[in-house]
Amino acid sequence: MKTFRSSRLQLLDNDTVAAWVFLTPALVLLGVFIIWPIAYLFYLSFTAGIFTSNGIHWVGFKNYWRLLLNSDFWQVIFNTVYFTLGSLIPSLVIPLGIAVLLNRSIAWLSILRSAYFLPSITSLVAAGLGFRWLFQNTGPVNELLKIFSIPEISWLGDTFWAMPVIILFSIWKQIGFNMVVFLAGLQAIPLSRYEAAELDGANGWQQFWHITLPGLRPTLIFATVTTAIFTLRSFEPVYVITGGGPLNSTNLLVYYTYQEAFGQFDFGYAAAVATVLLIVTLLLVYLQLRTWRDE
């Protein structure tokens, strides 16, 4: 009996060693490219100065205090919340509706599925340049408005209209990915539920409300969190289409961080802004994991 227990413990020890051997390369890469940059970012947010011969020096919470007192930062926060909410809801509702319509075994619908997914694999810079061309003062959108006798709109030069253009770009970019996610979720719902509902006399809307949406709850949570993170990290649309203007009306957190770090060379302050963004992102991920665990 003792020999059996000792050999079992030896086996467990060997498995543990083998597990660490296989995990070590991944852990090293994780530490070098994720954990260390995050730790250094957090450290940098408590410093001031630039990477010159004078170096950087510790300033404590001064950068975070500057955030609280900086009106530009609060304008950027408002812009980011506006952009996130304006992008999030349509980026969930529209793909969900498309996925429900395309969730049928008809051959030609595969072409539509591919067409809807194309924006997700299109270069952000190329697509941004395309949107900038579409919405310029002499662009196709204003030419189309002239046909209906609608006055020309300065889409990218007006503080009211510039953000909707960026939001439209974000929605267009996210539709394909979310549609594929919802299609996968729909195909995981047993058909027997719909058949039973039909026998009970439930119409299409009742089936959608009482079967489709509850069955898609984990998928909806995943799509909501990933879409929110996608919008929070948006940089290319602002950089390519508006440059944060006009009058700072489309400046988002990531672009603001870029401006402060590489425009003003205020790396400590930029690190504090990036840390705030990181905390918000981690909270979203935590909420997603917490919800899945509760289910």
- Domain boundary assignment for the chain: 7-57, 70-294
| Distance, CA of 204 to CA of 192 (rounded, Å) | 15
Please tell me the least confidently modeled range out of 36-50, 94-108, 153-167, 177-191: 94-108
Contacts of 149 (CB under 8 A, 6+ apart): none
Tokens of 254: 């990531």
- pLDDT average, residue stretch 66-87: 92
| Distance, CA of 46 to CA of 44 (rounded, Å) | 5
- Note the pLDDT tens digit of each residue in 257-290: 999 988 888 889 999 999 999 998 888 888 777 7
Please answer whether residues 186 and 103 qualify as being in contact, where contact means their C-beta atoms are separated by less than 8 angstroms: yes
HEC per residue, 32-48 = HHHHHHHHHHHHHCCEE
Residue 294's pLDDT band (boundaries 50, 70, 90)? low
pLDDT attached to residue 81: 92
pLDDT attached to residue 200: 79
- pLDDT average, residue stretch 208-229: 87
Contacts of 173 (CB under 8 A, 6+ apart): 119, 120, 122, 124, 127
pLDDT attached to residue 3: 53
| Distance, CA of 192 to CA of 103 (rounded, Å) | 16
| Distance, CA of 90 to CA of 83 (rounded, Å) | 12
- 245 pLDDT more than 90: no
pLDDT attached to residue 292: 65
- pLDDT average, residue stretch 80-88: 93
pLDDT attached to residue 233: 86
| Distance, CA of 181 to CA of 219 (rounded, Å) | 7
pLDDT attached to residue 54: 66
- pLDDT average, residue stretch 176-203: 85
- 89 pLDDT more than 70: yes
| Distance, CA of 45 to CA of 277 (rounded, Å) | 12
Query: What is the β-pairing status of strands 47-49 and 56-58?
Result: antiparallel
Q: What is the dihedral of CA 226, 227, 232, 237, to 10 degrees?
A: 130
- Closest alpha carbon to 238 in 118, 76, 92: 76
- 56 pLDDT more than 60: yes
Decide if domain 70-294 falls under CATH 1.10.3720.10. yes
Across the chain, what does the average pLDDT equal? 85
Strand partners, 56: 49
- Closest alpha carbon to 60 in 41, 44, 40, 36: 44
pTM score of the predicted model: 0.85
Please answer whether residues 156 and 136 qualify as being in contact, where contact means their C-beta atoms are separated by less than 8 angstroms: yes
Q: What is the DSSP letter of 57?
A: E
Gyration radius (Cα) of the chain, Å: 25
- Greater pLDDT, 202 or 50: 202
- Closest alpha carbon to 56 in 198, 291, 267, 278: 267
